[in-house]
């Protein structure tokens, strides 16, 4: 299922998938503190789980790498990254993925809806990641490759909105 949801609206909803469809689990949806952006580097909130902090740290490791189509797909470690290579690298830091995936692979990844800390937005042509309120993306960010932004993207395209359960 593809959701056309604005990331800032999706962040307000924390959904879990059940056999009966999409249900809200309010116990897991308490507001989280947001990461800070300092000179282009994301700083995780102290209250973030260790795996979330590692996703942010790994995103910081590649934030100044160039955009390379297909970058980060043969190996997590590359000279540059495309959108899904960027998301795969960051999620690998938190041990949420074992190997890089294209954006279409993330369209059915883990659970539907927005996560409390981590949400992926993917379609066949692009994807990005929102972690603790900051967007890790290869477009609409500083530079010509992976970067963080406090500004969320428009939902003008359809994105599959997914999250790793519990995060």
Q: Which CATH number covers residue 13?
A: 3.90.1720.10
Is residue 15 assigned to a domain?
A: yes
What would the pLDDT profile of 123-167 be if each residue is shown by its tens digit? 999 999 999 999 999 998 888 999 999 999 876 668 999 999 999
Residue 138 CB contacts under 8 Å (≥ 6 apart), including other chains = 67, 81, 82, 83, 86, 128, 145, 146, 147
Task: Look at the chain and report how many structural domains it folds into.
Answer: 1
Query: Does residue 29 fall inside a structural domain?
Result: no
Whether 134 maps to a domain, the answer reads yes
In a domain, 53, yes or no: yes
Q: Is residue 153 part of a domain?
A: yes
pLDDT tens, position by position, 5-41: 444 444 444 443 333 333 333 344 454 789 999 999 9
pTM of the model: 0.82
Distance of alpha carbon 56 from alpha carbon 74, whole angstroms: 22
116 Cβ neighbours under 8 A, 6+ residues apart: 14, 28, 29, 30, 32, 163, 166, 167
Cα–Cα dist 56/107, whole Å: 21
In a domain, 33, yes or no: no
In a domain, 149, yes or no: yes
The whole domain housing 14 covers: 7-23+38-163
Per the domain annotation, does 57 fall within a domain? yes
Question: pLDDT tens for residues 60-105?
Answer: 999 999 999 999 999 999 999 999 999 999 999 999 999 999 999 9
């Amino acid at each position: 299922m593809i959701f056309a949801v604005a990331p800032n609206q999706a962040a307000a909803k924390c959904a879990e998938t059940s056999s009966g469809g999409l249900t809200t689990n309010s116990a897991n949806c308490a507001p989280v503190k947001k990461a800070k952006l300092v000179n282009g580097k994301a700083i995780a909130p102290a209250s973030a789980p260790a795996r979330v902090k590692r996703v942010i740290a790994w995103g910081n490791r590649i934030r100044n790498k160039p955009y390379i189509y297909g970058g980060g797909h043969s190996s997590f470690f590359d000279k540059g990254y495309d959108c899904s290579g960027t998301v795969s690298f960051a999620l690998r830091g938190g041990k949420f993925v074992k190997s890089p995936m294209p954006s279409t692979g993330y369209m059915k990844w883990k659970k539907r809806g927005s996560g409390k800390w981590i949400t992926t937005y993917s379609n066949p042509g692009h994807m990005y990641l929102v972690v603790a309120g900051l967007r890790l993306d290869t477009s609409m960010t500083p530079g010509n490759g992976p970067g963080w932004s406090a500004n969320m993207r428009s939902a003008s395209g359809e994105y599959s909105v997914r999250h790793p359960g519990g995060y």
